[in-house]
Amino acid sequence: MKQYDAVAALHQCVSQLEAELNQLQQQLQSLRLLTGRVFSLPPVIKGKEHDEIANIEVTQHLGSAALALGLEHYCRLFMQHQSEQLSTKAAVRLPGALCFQADDAQSALLHQQVGRINSLKQRLEQIITVESGVESEERFEFVHTHLRGLITLNAYRAITLLDAPDTVRFGWANKHIIKNLSRQQVLEKLERSLKAGRAVAPWTREQWAEKVLEEIEAIHSLPADARLKIKRPVKVQPIARTWNVHQQKQTQLACPSPLLVLCADKNQVPTLGELLNYDAEQVKHRYKPQAEKLFAIIPRLHLYSDRLV
């Protein structure tokens, strides 16, 4: 897809997504709220996106206050909906759960609505990350040139809709994104970056090209059987754990937005737990396996190898 077509598709997709989210908001407002509990987290200030997180103070909201915050959160796609001091590079998280009474017809309608919304979110990510043809380090500028203030992480993240689990507990998770790559995949990525001919601050175009050439040489210098992997840390994030008595099954879910829970009546309302403040010094690992020894090859890409250059 040509970039011009990608920009048109981008605008159309976001417009459709906003319309569907507004309709979802209206549908939820027409239902009876059985219970609601959400937890607001401190905002991420511009320039502080990569700071180490040691503590997170949580503020709990219940009932109608939780509903109002939740509905606002689902529709929060743009920076214009918040202070200009806040980062557009960090998603706004509002973990928790909103439980509504819904009959079979209302439930079916909501499942369809949320399905359409999540499909549009996937479509938006596909346009930005694939069809635009823009390299990852240039996507922020591309998105904000054409959709100023779009918070892409908020726009990408799916809404989770559940049918009356028995309990919903909340907690925190630390993890890494790990992806194995072939030598050819890494070289192709670096070659594309080189051919783009752009500068990346604080380097000039020439300095950046020289840096990328050094990275290409580093990959060529690795032994032929060296394994390569991306190991990118993801900052601590809120999670939910649901329990279904009949299935005797626990499910762990990322919880950047309130879970939508549908119940036939008040007798199906799940027990909602609390989200406690995060304190890195108090984190206890039940089991922490010995990590494989890896060597940093290209730090900016979080690229590691089991062999040294």
Residue spans per domain, the chain: 3-280+294-305
Task: Tell me the C-alpha distance between 10 and 54, whole Å.
Answer: 37
Domain 3-280+294-305 maps to which CATH number in 3.40.50.720, 3.40.605.10, 3.50.14.10, 3.30.450.40? 3.50.14.10
Q: In this predicted model, what pLDDT tens digit does every residue of 247-286 receive, in sequence order?
A: 899 999 999 999 999 999 999 999 999 999 998 877 665 5
Task: Tell me the C-alpha distance between 171 and 145, whole Å.
Answer: 37
- Residue 290 is predicted with a pLDDT of 54
What does the block give as tokens for 224? 């032929």
- Residue 218 is predicted with a pLDDT of 92
Within 10 angstroms of residue 38's Cβ, the number of other Cβ atoms is 26
**Helix axis angle, 3-29 to 104-126, nearest 10°:** 160
- Residue 152 is predicted with a pLDDT of 87
Three-class SS of the chain = CCHHHHHHHHHHHHHHHHHHHHHHHHHHHCCEEEEEEEEECCCCECCCCCCCCCEECCEEEEHHHHHHHHHHHHCCCEHHHCCCCECCCCCCCCCEEEEEECCHHHHHHHHHHHHHHHHHHHHHHHHHHHHCCCCHHHHHHHHHHHCCCECHHHHHCCCCEEECCCEEEEEEEEEEEEEEECHHHHHHHHHHHHHHCCCCCCCCHHHHHHHHHHHHHHHHHCCCCCCEEEEEEEEEEEEEEEEECCCCEEEEEECCCCEEEEECCHHHCCEECCCCCEEHHHCCCCCCCCCCCCEEEEHHHCEEECCCC
Task: Tell me the C-alpha distance between 168 and 277, whole Å.
Answer: 17
Task: Tell me the C-alpha distance between 173 and 192, whole Å.
Answer: 34
Task: Tell me the C-alpha distance between 305 and 309, whole Å.
Answer: 9
- Residue 141 is predicted with a pLDDT of 81
Q: In this predicted model, what pLDDT tens digit does every residue of 192-213 receive, in sequence order?
A: 888 877 777 788 888 989 999 9
Question: 298, 3, 2, 282: which is closest to 145 by C-alpha?
Answer: 3
Residue 179, CB half-sphere, CA atoms under 13 Å: how many? 12
- Residue 24 is predicted with a pLDDT of 97
Q: What angle do CA 23, 24, 27 make, to 5 degrees?
A: 90
Task: Give me the sign of the Cα torsion angle 203, 207, 211, 212.
Answer: positive
Task: Tell me the C-alpha distance between 282 and 227, whole Å.
Answer: 35
- Residue 87 is predicted with a pLDDT of 67
Q: Which residues of the chain have pLDDT under 50?
A: 287
What does the block give as tokens for 192? 């594309």
